[in-house]
Structure 1
């Protein structure tokens, strides 16, 4: 099994309530990544 390190910005992006375009995009990308890869870890 491989150890992974999750940068604290990842949960921050996942749960952000910010509404600016960049924050919304990061939130969407983070959700997509977790939906696709979380089961591998």
Structure 2
């Protein structure tokens, strides 16, 4: 699902508790793998 380009909320990342999901999302954003979609 992450590779198809559809928006994914941090809380929807599979197999991660909320704290870990935030850490992963921040790292992906910092490394330029993901971009933030404006509301």
TM range (shorter): 0.3 to 0.5
Provide the TM-score with structure 2 as the length reference: 0.46
Structure number with greater CO (CA < 8 Å, separation at least 6) is: 1
Provide the TM-score with structure 1 as the length reference: 0.44
The structure with more radius of gyration: 1
- Larger helix proportion, structure 1 or 2? 1
